[in-house]
Amino acid sequence: MYSNPAGVGTGSQSRTWLDTAKNYIEVTKPRSVFLLVFTALVAMFLATAEYTVSMSVLIKSLVAITLACSGVNAVSCYVDRDIDAIMERTKRRPIPSGRIAPPVKALVWGLVQFLLALGIAYSLNLAAFVCILMGMLGYVGIYSLLFKRKTAWNIILGGFSGGLPTMFGWMAVSGKLELLPVLLSLLVVLWIPNHIWNLAIFYKDDYRKVGVPMLPVICDTRRTLLYILFTILAMFALSIAMYYVGDMGTFYLVTAIVCGLAITAGNIYLFFAPKQKRAWFLYKLSSPYLFLIFLAMMVDRHF
């Protein structure tokens, strides 16, 4: 005769919890987390070719780096909440849109994840712990708090944190700082300017509106694209050098050459025919490039 009010309430409550969970996942920037964790995972697999390690260590390492990247992103969203509320690209994120309120909840959420990551990393070895700690200091401290709003070289000064997940992956298994993980991390660091500056070219007006001096805001587009090309060529050269240093095989070499030529050619074309939509396309292309390079390393060494 009458519908069950309790049933209706339960369904509504379930949807509320689901929406809340989605908001807290979204504030961690899951696509960014996936790519960084993947580079760490590949480094772990590469390290297992030289070091014997238990499955429990691999699982703990994977959990630690996932929590660390997720936590750092959530904290950075809290730090940038004021400018995110103004920029078209970011104003629909969970904090500026009010889906996470008050904003301090996102800060607590990020810090809890990060502290858990630190604890797990410490149980692995000291080197892994230091990598996680430096990741937070580099991204939130150096990039977001110190330099993002003060200098056009913010990406260069804070970019080393982007390579730390890769280094963590190796150190979690080996506990040692060696040449190969340093070069793997440097590959990611060299990838970051292409990824971020092409995005900033497309959203140049957004960054100018909030007073963030990204390179395309204070520099003409042609000069910015020249700097991007320098980092692309260095990244391409390093990816080829990895074939020799990392003892990679033919599959990796072919992948590095094909992907490197594609992203280099795209950025050369953009340099001579600068358009915001082309910069956006190359920004979107940069993530698959990094994924494919690291995937080729894993495939080449383990299959």
CATH number of the domain residue 127 falls in: 1.10.357.140
Q: What is the DSSP string of the chain?
A: ----HHHHHHHHHHHHHHHHHHHHHHTT-HHHHHHHHHHHHHHHHHHHTTS---HHHHHHHHHHHHHHHHHHHHHHHHHTHHHHTT-TTTTTSTTTTTSS-STHHHHHHHHHHHHHHHHHHHHH-HHHHHHHHHHHIIIIIIIIIIITTT-TTHHHHHGGGGGHHHHHHHHHHH-S--HHHHHHHHHHHHHHHHHHHHHHHHTHHHHHHHT---HHHHS-HHHHHHHHHHHHHHHHHHHHHHHHHTT--HHHHHHHHHHHHHHHHHHHHHHHS--HHHHHHHHHHHHHHHHHHHHHHHHHHH-
Tens of pLDDT, residues 195-229: 999 999 999 999 999 999 999 999 999 999 999 99
- Segments forming the whole domain that contains residue 142: 19-150+158-174
Q: Are residues 164 and 207 in the same domain?
A: no
Q: Are 144 and 237 members of one domain?
A: no
User: How many structural domains comprise the chain?
Assistant: 2
Are residues 202 and 169 located together in one domain of the fold? no
Co-location of 46 and 119 in the same domain? yes
Question: pLDDT above 90 covers what percent of the chain?
Answer: 88
Residues 214 and 90 in one domain: no
85 & 207 share domain: no
In a domain, 59, yes or no: yes
Q: Which CATH number do you get for residue 207?
A: 1.20.120
Co-location of 236 and 141 in the same domain: no
pLDDT over threshold 50, residue 5: no
166 plus 194 within the same structural domain? no
pTM assigned to the model: 0.92
One domain, residues 170 and 239: no
9 domain residue, yes or no: no
Q: Are residues 248 and 135 in the same domain?
A: no
Please tell me whether residues 141 and 203 are part of one structural domain: no
Flag whether pLDDT at 12 surpasses 70. Answer: no
pLDDT in tens, 232-289: 999 999 999 999 988 899 999 999 999 999 999 999 999 999 999 999 999 999 999 9
Same domain as 187, residue 139: no
Per-residue confidence (pLDDT) for residue 6, from 0 to 100:
46
